[in-house]
Structure 1
Amino acid sequence: MIKIENPTAAAYLEGIDYTRWARAHFPGIRYNIMTTNIAESFNALARHARKLPVVMLIEFLRSTLQKWFYTRRNIADTCTHPLTPWAEEKLANHIHKSANMIVKPITVDRYEVYSSGRSVAIVNLATKECSCKKFQLSQIACVHVAAIARFQNLSNCYPWVNKYYSTEYWKAVYREAVEPLGDPSEWVQPEDIRIVNPPQMQQRRSGRPSERNRRPSEGEEICQIECSRCHQKGHTRLVCKNPLSAATTSSSGLGLSERI
């Protein structure tokens, strides 16, 4: 599908190896996380706070974490299920989809599971693997494992869900509190404290600084603005100081006379 839409992108992805971008071929365990954009999300949260002085910015980040930990700690404490609400909903959805599946045992740990479309999946409960790959990738019992649990007359699929989805681990993440710093007048300052002066800043461009500037990705082509007067990139006609060629001047004059 990628080759049809963009052959160049397909050739690039094949060249860097499937383990770099395909979750099914990734050697580690990413659970159900597809991206690593937590840094971008945090930057968006602190977009306005980044304009503040450094001490106020740090206090904003600390107070935000304090609020997050308090809120999520209370939510985790009210959870009465063995798994987190997200994992419970995911597992319930798998159990619902496995209602009409047919299970045929191969050995004590290996099973053959037929879905409604007659597709076959081989499940190994000992190694926690399924030929659909979803079991080992997400570490949550897939629909085929749910069908096996029903075949064995089990009441739940908890033994085949990773412990990191448990409520116990969820509570442990937010068990510690983020403490406030208190009044600055009560802080204990060391005698050998070193004063760090602000860095020497270059002359800043006039106008309000942009809030959307970012570093371009590797290989990314940056689209530059083009001057409508001299047709060179990097500036607009409002600040253009380049001399115009005779052809440009004559064409501009001709266009003006025609309009008149």
Structure 2
Amino acid sequence: MAPTMYIVYLRFNGEIIYGQHGAEYQGPQMKFIRVHHGISFVELEMKIFNALQLNNQSHRITVTYRCPQEVISPHINYMTLLITDDDSVNRMFDILDATPELKSIELYISVEDCVGEGVEPLTKDYGDGLETEDCVDEDVQQMTVDDTARFTQPSTVGGCTPQLHEILTSMEDCGPSTRHEYVPLGVNLLHGVDDMMMVEFTADDKEENTDYDNDAYFDDDDDDNDDDDDDEVDEVDDVVWNAKQKAIANIYGDWGESYQLLPKFMKALIDSNPSTKVKWETYWSADVGSAIFESVFWAFGPSIQGFVHCRPVISIDATHLYGKYEGKLMIAMTTDANNGIYPLAFAVMEKESKDTWHWFLRCLKKHVTKDRELCIISDRHRGILSTVMWKKLQPLNAYHRFCLRHLTSNFNQRFHDKRLKNMIMRAGQHNQLRKFNATMDSIRHYNKDAVTILDNETNVEKWALAKDDGLRYGVMTTNLFECFNGVLKGAHNLPITAMVEFIYFKLVHYFNDRRIKTQAQLTSGQEFSTHALEIFEKWSEKASLHRVIEFNRDEGTFQIQTQPSLTSMNKGNHRHVVKLANRTCSYGKWQAYKIPCSHAIAACASQHINVYQYIDPFYSLTEMLACYQLHFQPMKDAPY
């Protein structure tokens, strides 16, 4: 006989509070897993790591059971019980068996980074804040590449062998932050390829933007002024750093030569993949007697052509480059139908500024997004804010939204108040206007100054899901970018040409992997992505409990009555209005995520209407396959 399966609700990204009936969890995010009686603590822990998409090497979790203490009908009083070993897991099931009023287990999960020396922490918000009522959040999927896979095409860049990329992953980023030199691109290297490579000198652009404060930030500090170590530590760091650079150069080629190889590599890339776009910025130096590299933008052809089949939401961000020549790697990305990351464009430049963000977004519009209407999610770097508002970029057709994690982190830095941070996070994640207003009232009573700053420095539609009008598809953070940054860890330690090639081969494998898996799902008869179906099926479970009142079947207007909650006096027993013709529900979730909510599902079920027609087409596997349909082409041997 198969073991009995239990539903376990995982509550996270909030805090434990004690109310009228004991322990409760304040926070809007929840997932669920199914476990069997007799599961070990290690197995339970791994299921939680997988459900929250955490790496057990870089994160530590604490598991707290919301344990029933006494049943006083119709209420249950709760206490907390730490789950630390097999005995406490067994005790949890014994309590559940002894409490027939309960049908499931509720666990509170707290997460800590356990970042070791030389490993960069990746911040994760566990999704995009679906309401707790529906027990599911916007799953964030990492761009995963099989660790055992090896690139089959030999490298042609300075002896770079891509199968050695693991070496870079294990190397610590220990370089001093001030090592930078100008890198000349010899005139002879650029001569004859300037038209094809679109080399551009932009002195005029800089003159008309002389009001830019290149190093100004709005709130997101990028403080490179580390505390001075003593001379002995500096000397040791220099030795380690120099040794690392020599090791990388031995494997991937000389740092300076890599910049001079880059134009030839890009030409070979375009020759083999003609739809790929590359744009350069250089300036002439009379002192050096050649063109000086300033920045390069590139977007791979398969990504450009597949983008039209992705949701019109992109994230933009930047990460540090390390090595002899430092700088910034800018990335624009979106998500596919399965919420997997989908890289769009890259750029390398000296630093983030108004000038560089302006140039990057202008290239992005011209070569990738074109005239498509978009929602752009980012932090509040002043360069991004200025560029989005710049009148010459208005045809960008973009609605700008803020990353909620960056916003709340800024408030935490300003007020040093984690509770305030979590309250703002909850307000931003609510899709229902009523709940948003109630949370804002709580914040106003808790810290009036914080609300004043929110009102004065931000537009509410830029950070609050309830005010978003469905533009961001429920995506609240740029954490997907950080997942991509995590997969590429090691790339930003490489000489520039080796780094571009590294990214190229990563995407070759990624596109092939996604194409094969999606085709297999379509062949099996699956119509929508697993990500969308998991959300839909969870909401369908709740739909069966709703009561539907028909008002106008021809127009698809229904009133939905939800059941009272058995565990909380403040949940359930609400009325919502569904209008199928408008694809709206007064609850707000359908508009936010473009997947029918439980109320819309109930309305369709009552009239035997095919509810799947109301799932946004961008969640279909047909669109997902089209994202990855175009193949990367192998590069010919280039005359390096």
Calculate the TM-score normalised by the size of structure 2: 0.28
Aligned equivalents of 1:63 and 1:2: distance in 2?
48
1:162 CA displacement: 0.8
1:92-171 equivalent positions in 2, closer than 5 A: 92-108=537-553, 109-117=556-564, 118-154=573-609, 156-171=610-625
1:80-91 equivalent positions in 2, closer than 5 A: 80-91=525-536
| Matched residue type, 1:9 | A
| Matched residue type, 2:563 | S
| Matched residue type, 1:42 | F
Q: Is 1:11 paired with 2:11? A: no
Aligned equivalents of 2:538 and 2:470: distance in 1?
25
Aligned equivalents of 1:146 and 1:114: distance in 2?
13
- Secondary structure at the aligned position of 1:104 is classed as strand
Q: Is the contact made by 1:135 and 1:142 (CA closer than 8 Å) also made in structure 2?
A: yes
CA RMSD of aligned residues (A): 1.9
| Matched residue type, 1:148 | A
Q: What are structure 1's unaligned runs of at least 5 residues?
A: 188-260
Aligned equivalents of 1:91 and 1:153: distance in 2?
17
Q: Is the contact made by 1:13 and 1:21 (CA closer than 8 Å) also made in structure 2?
A: no
Aligned equivalents of 1:40 and 1:8: distance in 2?
31
Which structure has the larger Rg over C-alpha atoms?
A: 1
| Matched residue type, 2:621 | T
| 1:49-80 C-alpha deviation (Å, 9 max, x unpaired) | 22221111000000111111111111111113
Residue in structure 2 matching 1:29, options 457, 471, 477:
471
The 1:182–1:144 alpha-carbon spacing in structure 2 relative to 1, beyond 3 Å, is same
Match of 1:68 in 2: 510
- Secondary structure at the aligned position of 1:82 is classed as coil
Q: Is 1:47 paired with 2:489? A: yes
Aligned equivalents of 1:81 and 1:29: distance in 2?
27
1:167 CA displacement: 1.0
Match of 1:255 in 2: none
The count of corresponding residues between Structure 1 and Structure 2 is 185
- Secondary structure at the aligned position of 1:164 is classed as helix
Q: What are structure 2's unaligned runs of at least 5 residues?
A: 1-441, 565-572
Q: Is 1:179 paired with 2:620? A: no
| Matched residue type, 1:92 | E
Match of 1:256 in 2: none
The 1:72–1:6 alpha-carbon spacing in structure 2 relative to 1, beyond 3 Å, is farther
What percentage of aligned pairs have identical amino acids? 27
| 1:110-166 C-alpha deviation (Å, 9 max, x unpaired) | 000101022100001111110000111111110001111220124x42111111111
The 1:148–1:35 alpha-carbon spacing in structure 2 relative to 1, beyond 3 Å, is same
1:181-196 equivalent positions in 2, closer than 5 A: 181-185=635-639
1:2 CA displacement: 3.3
- Secondary structure at the aligned position of 1:113 is classed as strand
1:3 CA displacement: 3.6
Aligned equivalents of 2:464 and 2:503: distance in 1?
34
1:5 CA displacement: 5.2
Aligned equivalents of 1:39 and 1:90: distance in 2?
22
